[in-house]
Amino acid sequence: MTAIMQLSFDVNGAPVVVEVQARTTLADCLRHTLGLTGTHLGCEHGICGACTVIVDDAAVRSCLMLAVQAEGTRVVTVEGLSGDDSLTPLQAAFRKHHALQCGFCTPGMITTLHALLTDEPFADADRIRDVLSGNICRCTGYIPIIEAALEARIAYQGKREDGRR
Ligand code: FES
Ligand code: FES
């Protein structure tokens, strides 16, 4: 018999309560139960980074996390990064630098970079490359992605109130 469990967490700023199987991944919960299909699934075993979401401010591979492990957490998906119809500065930089082609990897790139730049708004190109080494893009190449991330840093730097670099 499959165990069904109730899960309460916060998704993109709103509290949700869902019922999931104990074995359901966070990725499947977001996509199938909550309809948030912006989170993509590629490898489903932690290699490609396409499924990256932000859990309590940390970039997490949602294919490797059980939904029930998200109990009580704050989850942000790519849909939750912009509060309105406009692009975030990071998304706008991706568009400006042509940092996507098919777009399959893009949600994971954006969530990974958002978590990084929120925490490290002065991250240099080497640091950005290092962090993005866990996100695979098959069609764009990484140079435009790095350029977009470098340009977007300015939007994060003003939010850092403690002045740390
Ligand atoms: S689908 Fe999760 S890392 Fe590839
Ligand atoms: S834009 Fe196609 S995989 Fe990255």
Domain boundaries, the chain: 4-80, 89-157
Ligand 2: which of 97, 111, 112, 137 to mutate, judged by most atoms within 8 Å of the beta carbon?
137
Q: Amino acid letter at 47?
A: I
Average pLDDT over every residue of 13-26:
97
pLDDT in tens, 102-140: 999 999 999 999 999 999 999 999 999 999 999 999 999
Alpha carbon of 25 to ligand 1 centroid (Å): 11
At 160 the pLDDT is 59
Q: Quote the tokens at residue 61.
A: 């591979």
Q: What is the third-level CATH fold of 4-80?
A: Ubiquitin-like (UB roll) (3.10.20)
Distance 132 CA to ligand 2 centre (A): 13
Long-range contacts of range 131-136, CB-CB < 8 Å, 24 or more positions apart?
134/49, 135/48, 135/49, 135/50, 135/52, 135/105, 135/108, 135/109, 136/42, 136/47, 136/48, 136/49, 136/50, 136/105
Average pLDDT of the residues in 20-25: 97
Listed range (46-50, 83-87, 150-154, 157-161) with the worst mean pLDDT: 157-161
The answer to whether 4-80 and 89-157 have equal CATH topology is no
Average pLDDT, the chain: 95
CA of 105 to the centre of ligand 2 (A): 5
pLDDT of residue 83: 79
Model-level pTM?
A: 0.94
Q: What is the pLDDT of residue 2?
A: 79
Residues 137-146 have a mean pLDDT of: 96
Does the domain spanning 89-157 belong to CATH 3.20.20.10? no
Mean of the pLDDT values across residues 10-34?
Answer: 98
Task: Grade residue 165 by pLDDT with cuts at 50, 70 and 90.
Answer: very low
Nearest CA to ligand 1 atom 3: 46
Phi, psi of 34 (to 5 degrees): -105, -5
| Nearest residue (CA) to ligand 2, atom 2 | 102
